Amino acid sequence: PPKKYEQIPEYYEGHNSFDGPPVSHKPDKYRSARIDRLETIVGKVADTVGTVADSNKDFAFRITCERKSHANLNAKQLKEIESLKFKNNLLESSVSSTQKALSLKNSEITSLESRINELEAELEQKALLAEGDKARDSDTTQSLEIRVKGLKNELEQVTQDSSFKDGLIFCLRSRVSNLEDELEALGRRDQIASHQTSHDSKIGSAEADSASSSNNYKHDEVVEE
C-alpha cells in the first residue's frame, strides 16, 4: 500500500529497482554545497601549485645564475692563483740569484780584504827598510803599485754591485787609498835616495880619479930622478 512506502528513509532515494519505491528527484543541497567546497579547494590547490611552480622556476633560475657566477669566480680565482704562482716562481728565482750574487760578492770582498792586509804588511816592512837606510828595491815598489792598482779596479767592480753606504766597502776603499798614498810617498823617498846614491857615487868616482892622478904624478917624478 502507498502509505507504507511513504515512510522509506531518504537514503533510498535514487534506488532504481522494480521492487522498490519510485525514485525521488528532489535536489541534494548538501551535495551541491560539498561540490562547491571541493571546487573551491581544488581551485586553491591549483593556485598554490601554480605559485609553487613559479617559485620553483624563479629558484631554479637563481640557482643557475649563482652557479654561473660561482663558475666565473672560480675561473677568475684560478687565473689569479696561476698568476701568483708564476710571480712567486720569479721572486724565488730572483731571490736565489741575489743570494748567489751576495755570496759571490762576500767571497770577493773577503779575498780583497785579505790581499789588502798582505799589501799593508809588505808596505810596512818596506817602509821600515827605507827608514833604516837599507837597500831599496825599486822593482818591489813597482810590483806593489801594480798590485794596489789591481785591487782598486776589482774593488770598483764590486762597488758597482753594492751600496755606497756599505761600511765594509767604504773601509776597503779607504785602505786602498791609503796604500796608494803610502806607495807614492815611498816612491818619492826612493827617488831622493836614488839621486843621493848617484851623487855620492859620482863624488867617490871623482875622488878616486883624483887620487889615481896624484899617484901617477908622484910616480913620474920618482922615475925622472
Q: Which three cell numbers stand for residue 155?
A: 774593488
Yes or no: say if 113 and 172 are a contact pair by the CB < 8 Å rule.
Answer: yes
Q: Which three cell numbers stand for residue 191?
A: 827617488
CA distances from 60 to 52, 57, 72, 218 (A): 12, 5, 18, 142
| Burial (0-12, 13-18, 19+ Cβ within 10 Å), 155 | buried
Give the model's pLDDT for residue 79: 92
Give the model's pLDDT for residue 34: 81
What residue type is assigned to position 129 of the chain?
Answer: L
Q: Which three cell numbers stand for residue 35?
A: 561540490
Alpha-carbon gap, residue 173 to 162, rounded angstroms: 13
Q: Tell which wins on pLDDT, 6 or 93.
A: 93
Total length of the chain: 225
Q: What is the pLDDT of residues 117-171, one digit of tens each?
A: 888 888 777 766 655 544 445 556 777 778 888 877 877 776 665 554 466 677 7
Give the model's pLDDT for residue 204: 60
* pTM tops 0.85, yes or no: no
Say whether 170 sits in a helix, a strand or coil: helix
Give the model's pLDDT for residue 56: 87
pLDDT at 197 over 50: yes
Q: What is the pLDDT of residues 30-88, one digit of tens each?
A: 778 888 888 888 888 888 888 888 888 888 888 999 999 999 999 999 999 999 999 88
pLDDT at 25 over 70: no
